[in-house]
Structure 1
Amino acid sequence: MASADVDTEQTLTCLHMKMYHPQQQDPRIFSALELCKRQEIRAEDVVMFGRDVTCCTFKLLHNKVSRMQFALQFFKQMNSTAMGFEIKNLSKKTKLYVDGLELTYLNKVDLPSKCMIRFGEFQMLLENEAGESEDKFAIYCEVSRFPVVQEISDPVMVAIPENGPLYQSNHHQPLSLPPTPPPVEVDENDV
């Protein structure tokens, strides 16, 4: 007979990360990651990605990766039960792109539930699988054989105009621009 007040195990929010680098045939790049395994992390911990083997939780061993590339922090949305992640660029040299949004050093943004992040030649497709626990979360990393940009149905590599990105109100997604109309042939005599 089971007790009615036995704690039920809460599901963990899990951030799935599918990674790609064009030189990933070099086995060192992703060798320091525990691939295809859910890694449980305490909710209050900041998760660091980069090349520094002493302070980074997830190490990317490539000479173009900054010592500390970016950080992920787990948080609960204000006035909501939804759990999410924010990402902060920690690299002074390399810009980080979340979908089409450019983050320079120390810029941070909330991650959408599914997004593409890019820095240097690295591409990462991130998907947030919602959970209930406020104590822990998980990260699951895998390497894609193909560029992950191909897995996104909408193009995310949006060109950023010289005067800065276009924004929708309160969202970081760039506005989609209407297609350019085809050229119209005009006869010199019609002008």
Structure 2
Amino acid sequence: MANGANDVDTEQTLKCLHVKMYHPHNRHDKRIFSAFNLGRKEEVKAEEAAVFGRDVNVCRFKLLNSKASRLQFMFQYFKPLHSSSMAFEIKNLSKKTKLHVDGVELDYLNKVDLPDKCMINFGDFQMLLETEDGESEDLYAICCEVSQTPLVQDINGPVMVGISETGQQYSQASTCLYLSVPSTPPPVEVDENDL
């Protein structure tokens, strides 16, 4: 009995990386994400990297699409210097495809720390990542699901992105919006006489 009580006291929750994935061909080719245990938390040892890619012998998370690289990217669990909490980083393992993390472009073997919520994309793949807190330093979890709608929407045309101290406006030819809620129709103007 005392042993069981000690186990309850020492049990720690796992930090979990939730990955929502989208690919435009998934509607026609259900194989793309078929090797994933969708909706289930998969435990990974802290010292092991979670590798995504096409190689079924090396990758724990298999992307069954000919456009995916044999080794696409990996998540690594680590403790930042002078920090008590664990974190994730992502490293691009593809020599042919650049990886974008919230608009930051990563070439082959470049890596970056993941914020608590971010968007990554490569080729036609889009993934929304969200971190759920946990205390364990020995294990972490990854939970994947598939979205049937795009997670990123491209906007063409000038988009105002800021005003400098001199008052000059800067614009960008295109940008990305992250969709977290379904789009709503634009407001309709109503004339006072119509009321």
Same fold at TM > 0.5 = yes
Q: Quick one: distance in 1 between partners of 2:95 and 2:102?
A: 20
Structure with greater helix share of residues = 2
Q: Quick one: distance in 1 between partners of 2:68 and 2:99?
A: 11
What do the CA deviations read for 1:3-54 (whole angstroms, capped 9, x no partner)? Answer: 7971321000000000000111111100111100000010000111000000
Alignment correspondent of 2:47: 44
1:130 maps onto 2:146 in alignment: no
The letter for the 2-side match of 1:88 is: K
What do the CA deviations read for 1:101-151 (whole angstroms, capped 9, x no partner)? Answer: 00000100001110000000000000011100001000000001111226x
Alignment correspondent of 2:81: 78
1:99 maps onto 2:99 in alignment: no
The letter for the 1-side match of 2:24 is: P
* TM-score, scaled to structure 2: 0.76
Q: Quick one: distance in 2 between partners of 1:95 and 1:3?
A: 51
- Percent identity over paired residues: 61
Q: Quick one: distance in 1 between partners of 2:170 and 2:97?
A: 32
Q: Quick one: distance in 2 between partners of 1:29 and 1:4?
A: 43
Whether contact under 8 Å (1:89, 1:96) holds in the other structure is yes
Alignment correspondent of 2:25: 23
Q: Quick one: distance in 1 between partners of 2:31 and 2:130?
A: 25
Q: Quick one: distance in 2 between partners of 1:79 and 1:5?
A: 32
Alignment correspondent of 1:62: 65
Q: Quick one: distance in 1 between partners of 2:123 and 2:42?
A: 25
Count of equivalent residues: 158
Q: Quick one: distance in 2 between partners of 1:97 and 1:5?
A: 46
Alignment correspondent of 2:113: 110
The letter for the 2-side match of 1:83 is: M
Q: Quick one: distance in 1 between partners of 2:109 and 2:4?
A: 48
What do the CA deviations read for 1:61-103 (whole angstroms, capped 9, x no partner)? Answer: 0010000000110011211112111110010000000001000
The letter for the 1-side match of 2:23 is: H
Whether contact under 8 Å (1:35, 1:140) holds in the other structure is yes
* TM-score, scaled to structure 1: 0.77
Structure with greater strand share of residues = 2
Which 4+ stretches in 1 moved above 6 angstroms?
none
Alignment correspondent of 2:12: 10
Three-state SS of the structure 1 residue aligned to 2:152 is helix
Three-state SS of the structure 2 residue aligned to 1:6 is helix
The letter for the 1-side match of 2:20 is: K
Q: Which stretches in structure 1 are left out of the alignment for 5+ residues?
A: 158-175, 182-191
